[in-house]
Amino acid sequence: ELKVEQNPLFLSMQEGKNYTIYCNYSTTSDRLYWYRQDPGKSLESLFVLLSNGAVKQEGRLMASLDTKARLSTLHITAAVHDLSATYFCAVDGANSGNTPLVFGKGTRLSVIA
Amino acid sequence: GAVVSQHPSRVICKSGTSVKIECRSLDFQATTMFWYRQFPKQSLMLMATSNEGSKATYEQGVEKDKFLINHASLTLSTLTVTSAHPEDSSFYICSARAPGGGLFNYGYTFGSGTRLTVV
């Protein structure tokens, strides 16, 4: 059974600081997804990482994937209040066909002044 | 492209009644759709995989007689919560995968979610 673990689950950080969210998964996969969820809303896609060593950046967020270590990171640079949200990583374990994503528990990020 | 429309966005119903939630793929055909449930401050939990023209596959612990899924066409899947109880109150989200990947998110598109409150 594919398991996806995120840490930390809660993160309170000051504006301007840097931090990293970690996502470990239990089976071989070279497709990993990061999503953002605001309260009361559905998921917003942030990054899709499709191969070992993939790195993608958008604004203050950068995601990377190490398939050998089964680890992905989401790095936050110089956090701003607008980044406050819950961040989920998800893995498509089967690497084929129409299989559902398995989600981590999410990291609730609060950026404070 | 690859938009999934979910309706209604919010519904309040009385205990014992049934509620239908629709999930439509607007610009692609989705042979498979996924239904998730999310309780407050928790992650998404897969309820079932909906397959066009065949029976849905339910995850362990999900009552198939209570959560009826119909995927009658390549663009529409419905989730009906039958005889709803307050403990069924939750946020329900559907997802579909556009064939051949595509788009920024490699094909996994999520509906906007349905907030169900059973009173």
* Measured distance CA(B25)–CA(B76) in Å, rounded: 7
- What average pLDDT does the structure give for chain A? 92
**Of B44, B97, B113, Cβ closest to residue A98:** B97
Specify the 3-state DSSP secondary structure of A48. Answer: strand
* Measured distance CA(B66)–CA(A76) in Å, rounded: 42
Specify the 3-state DSSP secondary structure of B4. Answer: strand
* Contact in structure between B34 and B46 (CB atoms under 8 Å): yes
Number of A/B CB contacts below 8 angstroms equals 48
* Measured distance CA(B87)–CA(A95) in Å, rounded: 34
The three-point CA angle A67-A71-A75 to 5° equals 125
Indicate whether B63 pLDDT > 60: yes
Q: How far apart are the first and last CA of chain B?
A: 37
Contact state of A100 with B95 under an 8 Å Cβ cutoff = yes
B77-to-A81, A102, B34, B50, B73 alpha-carbon distances in Å: 37, 20, 9, 7, 7
* Contact in structure between B3 and B108 (CB atoms under 8 Å): no
Token pair 């605001």: residue:
A38
Specify the 3-state DSSP secondary structure of B3. Answer: coil
Indicate whether B102 pLDDT > 70: no
Test the B interface: residue of A98, A105, A109 with most B CBs within 10 Å? A98
Residues A66-85 have pLDDT tens digits of: 999 999 999 999 999 999 99
Indicate whether B67 pLDDT > 70: yes
Contact state of B104 with A45 under an 8 Å Cβ cutoff = yes
**Which positions in chain B touch A104 (Cβ < 8 Å)?**
43
Beta-bridged to residue B4, according to DSSP, are B25
Residues A18-52 have pLDDT tens digits of: 999 999 999 877 789 999 999 999 999 999 998 88
What average pLDDT does the segment B87-100 reach?
88
Token pair 């070279």: residue:
A30
CA distance A77 to chain B (A): 22
CA distance B23 to chain A (A): 13
**What pLDDT shows up at residue A27?**
84
